[in-house]
Amino acid sequence: MNYSVIIPARYESSRLPGKPLVDLLGIPMIIRTYQQCAKACDPKKIYVATDDERIKLICQEKNINVLMTSKQCLTGTDRVAECINYLDSEVFINVQGDEPLFNPEDLKTMIRKIEEFPNEILNGYCEIKSEREFRSHSIPKVVFNTDNKLLYMSRGAIPNNKNNEFLKAWRQVCVYAFPKNSLKNFNEQKEKTPLESLEDIEILRFLELGHEVRMIELSNQSIAVDNPSDVQRVITE
């Protein structure tokens, strides 16, 4: 299928300002994320979508495709959705810009899956291995049915039990594939939907709008950089 890989990059992160340009052993985080993606597909298909001239200039220095998007985007997915106006693609694969250790094999898997499940919204997941991850409010936890369709996603500890024990759980891996029409519908909403706003998890907007989301099992190698403490974790990996 005709696809583009979009890496949304917003400078004004509330928890870590300037996050895309955070220095990771001499290389800005957004460049490291791009380099991982370029190991999996043709670099001509990869675009950084940003609202900041500093990020644009850094990418242009490395001959990376850049699309300038609005500063009013509600989420990274809204930023990806704006790219519909510039690119003639059937599917938009979203890789978060704060994934400098993103596994290229996961992107290869997602590219294969858009052929297997055309016109479906896809999102990655992997098994949670530690109670620390299970209890973390920075990590969205995933529950899905026997057909791997998403039932719900939460920053809370789910699935849970009456003893509040960590037994088995799964977390989101932040790579998505969006058919063009689904993205358009998502972006037509001018404010966050109720559960999306409550949980601060944008994939929930699709569920609230009546879309189905198929979960695709990926590796557990990614580390999302949400807070300053995550920077040190990435550096030491």
What's residue 3's pLDDT? 97
| Residue 124, token pair as written in the block | 């990655």
What's residue 231's pLDDT? 53
Domain map (residue ranges) of the chain: 3-236
What's residue 12's pLDDT? 74
Distance CA 156, CA 27 (A): 33
Q: Which helix (H) or strand (E) holds 181?
A: helix 180-187
Between the alpha carbon of residue 154 and those of residues 28, 116, 140, 143, the distances in Å are 30, 27, 5, 9
- Single-letter amino acid, residue 134: F
Options 3.90.550.10, 3.30.70.520, 3.40.50.300, 3.30.70.2190; CATH of 3-236: 3.90.550.10
What's residue 230's pLDDT? 57
What's residue 19's pLDDT? 78
Please report, in tens digits, the pLDDT of each residue of the chain (237 residues total). Answer: 899 999 999 887 666 677 787 877 788 889 989 999 999 999 999 999 999 999 999 999 999 999 999 999 999 999 999 999 999 999 999 998 877 778 999 999 999 999 999 999 999 999 999 999 999 998 999 999 999 999 999 999 999 999 999 999 999 998 999 999 999 999 999 899 999 999 999 999 999 999 999 999 999 876 665 655 555 555 555
In the three-class reduction of DSSP (H, G, I as helix; E, B as strand; rest coil), residue 130 is classed as: coil
What backbone phi and psi angles, to 5 degrees, belong to 172? Answer: -75, 140
What's residue 234's pLDDT? 53
Supply the DSSP symbol for 62. T
Spatial CA neighbour of 179 closest among 38, 2, 49 = 2
In the three-class reduction of DSSP (H, G, I as helix; E, B as strand; rest coil), residue 14 is classed as: coil
What's residue 228's pLDDT? 56
Cβ-in-10-Å burial (0-12, 13-18, 19+) of 147 comes to exposed
The CB density around residue 145, as the number of other CB atoms within 10 Å, is 9
Spatial CA neighbour of 95 closest among 134, 140, 41 = 41
What's residue 26's pLDDT? 81
